[in-house]
Amino acid sequence: MAEHSFHPPQRTLMGPGPSDVSPRVLEALARPTIGHLDPVFVEMMEEMKGLLQYAFQTRNELTFPVSAPGSAGMETCFVNLVEPGDKVIVCRNGVFGGRMKENVERCGATPVMVEDEWGKVVDPQKLEDALKANPDAKLVAFVHAETSTGAQSDARTLVELAHAHDCLALVDAVTSLGGSPLKVDEWGIDAVYSGTQKCLSAPPGLSPVSFSERAAEVIRNRKRKVQSWFLDLNLVMGYWGSGAKRAYHHTAPINNLYGLHEALVILKEEGLENAWARHEKHHQALRAGLEAMGLSFVVKEGDRLPQLNAVTLPEGIDDAAVRGRLLRDFNLEIGAGLGALAGKVWRIGLMGHACNARNVRYCLMALESVLADLGADIATGVALPAADKVLAD
């Protein structure tokens, strides 16, 4: 059989990521490739650092995108800050806290786990108890926006607790960056990582990170070499550091960086506060429609992540069958549950470019159509009016 060029279908992406990519970003990806040490490319890199500092709300000099997806951003933070024998307090309330634990162990350090139920936020009291019980801990790590459940923890409070006990604070902001308030400097976050494929609406493959001067000092004064050559910030910063003189480290994903730059320009044009408000408003519209239909949220009100809505399946409905029908009949992707929530919930994303009124209405219409056809016990004809009422305000 002869091979042909690959032409993917046009989907509406409303899962946990990747999200729909803006046409402006797609156009940026197609621009001419130039060398990764070209002076013009270096200028763009400097501009991108400034745009990322705006997105993170930080002045941290050590702010740049790792040339790999969000999981590599996570690993960059851990391998640079954690050494064998260190003790790290890890808060786990979903899948990604578990991945943090794995990173700590692979660094030869000891994880102390603060456990919360899936769908709940990280409990500050449990963290404080763990800090008191482990005065020799070096670092506190937690997920700000837990993508597996849609729970958003109180990052500011958790960071304050870490600092009160002389620990660095490391934050997973993969799903929160650009979608809900994240203020790195104001909250005192020492290390933070994100991804491009969520609320920034760029393709996956890059991981924005930022490190405070306190964290940078820890990295500079390590007793041992960073276990990963590729992710060693002492080397990477020769390429992403200040000024026009760059040392070759690796061949950067040039066109992907064009895409991220354009995505950040779009975010700056809209304004961070406006982007946060847009995600909240469309979440409330989607919520109104889902609840009118008879569906309920996993996370309690006040703790929910606007851009990731975890909803419980109706009684007797097969998760995969619904998602399969949505994809086949409506070209609509929503996400399945992970881990403890597998088969029990759907994860509906409202991220970045995909967070708009058309998608809210399209998702409600498609979901109602499929569920009604499968005989689910839902109310019909009420979801769209409920959503429209919120959207009209």
Say how far apart CA 135 and CA 213 lie, in whole Å.
Answer: 23
User: 32 and 66: one domain?
Assistant: yes
Query: pTM of the prediction?
Result: 0.96
**Among the three residues 208, 241, 269, which one is the final residue of a domain in this structure?**
269
pLDDT of residue 23: 96
User: 258 and 287: one domain?
Assistant: no
| Coarse DSSP helix, strand, coil percentages of the chain, rounded to the nearest 5 percent | 45, 15, 40
* % of the chain beyond a pLDDT of 70: 99
User: 185 and 250: one domain?
Assistant: yes
Assigned domain for 231 exists: yes
**Among the three residues 254, 269, 284, which one is the final residue of a domain in this structure?**
269
User: 189 and 290: one domain?
Assistant: no
pLDDT per residue as tens digits for the range 95-118: 999 999 999 999 999 999 999 999
Say how far apart CA 182 and CA 210 lie, in whole Å.
Answer: 12
**Among the three residues 269, 285, 305, which one is the final residue of a domain in this structure?**
269
User: 296 and 265: one domain?
Assistant: no
pLDDT of residue 358: 98
User: 168 and 232: one domain?
Assistant: yes
Assigned domain for 11 exists: no
Sign of the CA dihedral with 276 first, then 205, 27, and 61 last: positive
Q: What is the mean pLDDT of residues 197-218?
A: 97
Assigned domain for 125 exists: yes
Provide the CATH number for the domain around residue 96.
Answer: 3.40.640.10
pLDDT of residue 245: 65
pLDDT of residue 238: 81
User: 355 and 209: one domain?
Assistant: no
- For residue 341, what is the DSSP state? G
Assigned domain for 7 exists: no
User: 263 and 276: one domain?
Assistant: no
Q: Is the pLDDT of residue 193 over 60?
A: yes
Domain, as residue range, for 296: 272-392
pLDDT of residue 243: 56
pLDDT of residue 242: 67
User: 52 and 173: one domain?
Assistant: yes
pLDDT of residue 340: 86
User: 202 and 319: one domain?
Assistant: no
User: 200 and 298: one domain?
Assistant: no
pLDDT per residue as tens digits for the range 288-309: 999 999 999 999 999 999 999 9
Q: What is the mean pLDDT of residues 77-87?
A: 98
Assigned domain for 228 exists: yes
User: How many domains would you assign to the chain?
Assistant: 2
Assigned domain for 302 exists: yes
Assigned domain for 12 exists: no
Q: What is the mean pLDDT of residues 148-158?
A: 97
Provide the CATH number for the domain around residue 277.
Answer: 3.90.1150.10
- Residue 77: pLDDT band by 50, 70, 90 thresholds? very high
Q: Is the pLDDT of residue 377 over 80?
A: yes
User: 293 and 376: one domain?
Assistant: yes
Assigned domain for 88 exists: yes
Give the list of residues 6+ apart from residue 46 with CB closer than 8 angstroms, or none: 244
Sign of the CA dihedral with 301 first, then 306, 307, and 311 last: positive
The whole-chain average pLDDT of the chain stands at: 96
Q: What is the mean pLDDT of residues 32-41?
A: 94
pLDDT per residue as tens digits for the range 232-276: 999 988 888 765 467 889 999 999 999 999 999 999 999 999 999
